[in-house]
Structure 1
């Protein structure tokens, strides 16, 4: 049995090689030793042949690579392949039958929940909730993996050689649509014909009802939280399933339609060429100008409805008179003041402690403007070398033009 810690360390050490082998596993089952050494030569270009052989032996000793039965051919450990494939999103496209089996298991687990609640068997209730949660997580994982597989299939089809026949180039796309998207669409139908969403709605309703009944009957809080968590996963699956199916359909449908149009065009061209071979070109196209060589179509230019509407509006345009305000003569400007903040700050330090900073400013510098006094007040209460604290009593001070109410600050030396 493979040691988990040794497996993780070996994966970290030989990750580049294992990743390349997993990617090549799409087309190969096993690898000869020379093939693996060739892979090492492309990855570890600065290593010698002896180092490649030593690395190969390390992979075999760590059980990342194992020998196939009745041969010396090497293959990747299945556990390693599944683990690395899940990280690289390298999966085979799932089957709708697997999803149907999981749906059936969820139905059985819901019945188990009902029976456990009626029998007051909280252990069975917990087992049923965990069973449903496991199936929901497996379905979410399958949908996520299938989305990546569909994207990979579409990318491979687009990147294939354009000189290939379209039916061969998009064969995998058509198979994926017929084998996966179409059955999943029927399965996830929200109407009476579907079985996926009606089951999720029933599961959500049952879980919410059981959680509420446990709450009313004073059940354990942990059991209530467990049912609510499973209910949240059901809601998540309802949304994720719809998005995954929509994304897969949007990816494959344009390619499938391209193949369908190509097939229709090929059939029409084939029928036309057959008529030409049977009847001859002149009898097939009795017109003077053959449409396969020249296509005539009338060209007309017309004014759009939007332009006609705009022309009608311009035709009946009437300028609107706008009364602008007269220019004001009085200029509301605040004259600038020259303030020696350094001298005021030194004066403040000499008078510490100050019980009421705002009153102190008014008493000594009341000849300044109101805005200047307020600015000095806010600067002085933020001095880093002075301890400030607001008074508990509210005071009211009248300046030149305004009257302010505040909890003036007390200043003390640190």
Structure 2
């Protein structure tokens, strides 16, 4: 029984000494892997020397038991020191290997599209968890801003450019209007000039430029897009996560663009963005039917704008026109809208009255810097990916457009 107690006490003392060594060597955790390797080598050499001395003492008949026990104690102490340092070394080495593997994982992907999805997914997850995005992912996304500048909250260039310049089915204006991404943008209203001002053949255009100047200055109108992300999606496949966020952001941007361009009662400060705003006072062409109003509006445009004119209208208005024109002839329903109305047509449900004009003079500009952040819907507990953007829509020449309206015959 006494022997068992002594053995238990020896094990307990050894454990206490090891824990004490861990505390004393805690500062090693802050050292580099190289320094830990050096410490292991130093302690290892001392341990090897002590073991050699212990072997020599063991066969030396003149050595006392106290000398041998002292060397045994030194050996055990050095062994524990070596084990503590090795444990920290192995842990740090494993962490660095894992981090290195993660960093280089994206570099091993050859498909540019898949590489972009991987980087986008990491950017979204970093945003939702409040962590910084690794430099290797920033490089893929075209954003090398260091976190020290506070630029880690900016939407990377590649992502913001895609959101603005990729064609979206949900906003037909993207097919015909001009879209740019510049800060403090200022552009001329017309892209050419002669040595005198008499070259402007349209008197309405000449009057407009005389009244408002020959340049357009874009402002910054802030808005936010919120994309809900469930925990399942956040922890699911990267492709599904990226698709969910991209589609949400695209829909949000498209909805804002259409909202400001076709608002019948614009928000204060955004009156200049709407085709229907009284501030823009775009000329209305009236007729007894929408078909006639559209035809007259096209004819009323100056030839400089008529050649490149497009029609923006609702699909319902178009089908109403077809129904009247067809008069029982089913073949007209299969005709292209351009064949029926004489100009290409874009269908937008928000277009209260058909708009006819040269849409290169409809110009949307986003500020270069978009911010990304996260929020939480306290009602549902769902996490939100938040995009803050600045938009302006300028109708560069009001005289390049007409609004077709119906006035019933008396």
Is the shorter-chain TM-score for this pair beyond 0.5, marking a shared fold?
no
Which structure has greater helix proportion?
1
TM-score range, shorter chain: under 0.3
Which structure has greater strand proportion?
2
Greater radius of gyration (CA): 1
TM-score by length of 1: 0.21
Higher relative contact order (CA 8 A, sep 6+): 2
